[in-house]
Chain A
Amino acid sequence: DIQMTQSPSSLSASVGDRVTITCRASQSIGKYLNWYQQKPGKAPKLLIYAASSLQSGVPSRFSGSGSGSGTDFTLTISSLRPEDFATYYCQQSYSIPYTFGPGTKLEIK
């Protein structure tokens, strides 16, 4: 199985800050990497798919990228807004079982 790790596990930031979350796969997954946002008591929401494609309706302050190795990926929020404070998960869809990272909790400083 492909293991996904995320760093940091939690992050405190202020409105207006630029934030980057990192996700690493235990083996190359090409661009088969997706990012989700989850708020307390709610279902996750797709933000980014295929490492860098913005899901329809998601604000452009969210962006994703991947390294050429196919193992390292980042989610960047260019200027934090109050509604962005949530938990973020990466997920690989390269091979079954589809696995998620442990999550990064983004909190208000």
Chain B
Amino acid sequence: EVQLVESGGGLIQPGGSLRLSCAASGFSVTNNYMSWVRQAPGKGLEWVSIIYTADTTYYADSVKGRFTISRDNSKNTLYLQMNSLRVEDTAVYYCVRGAIAVADPFDYWGQGTLVTVSS
């Protein structure tokens, strides 16, 4: 059974750093592309970052230069290093798996971890 379990969220002051982790089971993170999607309180979904099987990465303009996506194949874990955090980064962050299918949908989602950036 595919499972994604995020951790690492919490309350952080503006300008601070946080690293989110996403432990995957039931599949290998090397075989699928992986992404982070966030949702601010009461708002819609926003794609944040992606890492492809060839380790190519992309970021939303809103986080480019501040966030870094990576994975540890030995731990089957995805990460999101978040630096220079801003109040507007406050959101639930979901780890998602990209399906190996037409249109690359996000077929599995973690339960989400809440990041609150506030002084």
Are A55's CB and B44's CB within 8 A?
Answer: no
- Shortest C-beta distance, B93 to chain A (Å), equals 11
**In which size bucket is the chain B interface?**
20 to 34
- Stretch of B11-19, B21-29, B72-80, B106-114 that contacts chain A: B106-114
Least distance between B46 CB and chain A CB atoms (Å):
7
Q: Which one of A43, A49, A103 lies within 8 Å of B94 (CB-CB)?
A: A43
B101's partner among A38, A50, A97, A101 (CB-CB below 8 A) is: A50
Shortest beta-carbon distance, B59 to chain A, in Å? 8
Q: Check A34–B105 contact: CB distance below 8 A.
A: yes
Query: In the docked arrangement, what's the CA distance between A89 and B106, Å?
Result: 12
Least CB distance from A66 to B in Å reads: 11
Kindly provide the distance from the CB of B44 to the nearest chain A CB, expressed in whole angstroms. Answer: 5
CB-contact partner of A89 in B35, B45, B60, B94, under 8 A:
B45
Instruction: Give me 13 other A-B pairs in contact (C-beta within 8 A), A100-B47, A103-B45 excluded.
Output: A31-B103, A32-B103, A32-B104, A34-B105, A44-B106, A46-B106, A46-B107, A49-B99, A50-B103, A91-B47, A91-B105, A97-B60, A100-B44
- Chain A interface residues toward B at CB < 8 A: 31-34, 36, 38, 43-46, 49-51, 53, 55, 89, 91, 93, 96-103
Q: Chain B residues in contact with chain A, CB under 8 A? A: 35, 37, 44-47, 50, 58, 60-61, 94, 99, 101-107, 109-112
